[in-house]
Amino acid sequence: MLMVSKIALVVSLCVAIGCSVASSSSRTTEDVKDLAPAAPVGAEPAKEKQTAVFAGGCFWGVEAVFEHVKGVNDAKSGYTGGDVANPTYEQVSEGNTGHAESVKVTFDPTVVTYSQLLSIFFSVAHDPTELNYQGPDHGTQYRSAIFYANDEQKKLAEQYIDAINKAKVFPKPLVTQVVPLKTFWEAEGYHQNYLKAHPKEPYIVINDIPKVEALKQKFADLYAEK
């Protein structure tokens, strides 16, 4: 869905039926956090900067959430998961490239761990039970996915999903894909830091600011005003 039509659709839906900013995932944050997998006993703590790539609907909100996490040095919106090189936003929005709107998070593991990033991803960044859509955005380009960079990330993500499903934290099973990271294609410049640049845009106000507020409330120890 192209940017203009995305905003228009949200506005029309809100006028017609009203909007609730509360998400099902934000109501179960503590349950999700309690199930976060710990690092193996005796494992050497990572010291170098690491990257994690997540997809959970429109990348504007996912990027904004991770931008406000302590220990995150950078969050970039982009595209991955498909086979089209140098994709454009318009191409990805058509849903035929195989790519998902994604966010690459560069973080300091001595400040925030990969497991904590997973908790934020599952709790406030998106609804991991919705298949190929988030809010008003529909299509495989808006799927829930974790693109792992190494075997440790894969193992932690799979353990976490299994634990959440077994505990029945959500009313439906998680549909989040756990797949190897291919090339991450950085999105166009006007998509970067979109919430910060457009805080009063209707789409942002309705869909994305509530996510950042949920992060602030549910993960106060990890929230950073940036």
Q: How far is CA 58 from the centre of its chain?
A: 8
Q: Is 142 helix (H, G, I), strand (E, B) or coil?
A: helix
State the average pLDDT over residues 168-186: 97
Bridge partners, 101 (sequence order): 79
CB 202 within 8 A of CB 11: yes
pLDDT tens sequence across 191-209:
999 999 999 999 999 999 9
Is residue 225, in this structure, part of any structural domain at all? Answer: no
User: For the chain, what percent of residues have pLDDT higher than 90?
Assistant: 78
Q: Lowest mean pLDDT: which of 34-38, 92-96, 117-121, 137-141?
A: 34-38
- Residue 35: is its pLDDT beyond 50? yes
- Give 69-120 pLDDT, tens digit per residue: 999 999 999 999 999 999 999 999 999 999 999 999 999 999 999 999 999 9
> What order of strands is seen across the sheet that includes strand 72-80?
177-180, 144-148, 50-56, 100-107, 72-80, 185-186
> Span 26-50, mean pLDDT?
71
pLDDT at position 177 over 80: yes
Q: Is 151 a domain residue?
A: yes
Q: What is the mean pLDDT of residues 141-157?
A: 97
- Is residue 224, in this structure, part of any structural domain at all? no
Q: How many domains does the chain have?
A: 1
Return the active site residues.
Answer: 58
Kindly state whether residue 226 falls inside one of the protein's structural domains: no
What's 158's domain CATH number? Answer: 3.30.1060.10
Residue 79 lies in a domain: yes
The pLDDT confidence band at residue 37, using thresholds 50, 70 and 90, is: confident
Q: Which domain holds residue 104?
A: 3-38+46-218
Could you tell me if residue 30 is inside a domain?
Answer: yes
Does residue 25 lie within any of the structural domains?
A: yes
pTM of model > 0.75 = yes
Residue 223 domain-assigned (yes or no): no
Which one-letter amino acid corresponds to residue 68?
Answer: H
Q: Above 70 in pLDDT, residue 64?
A: yes
DSSP string, 176-212: -EEEE--PPEEPPGGGTTHHHH-TT-HHIIIIIHHHH
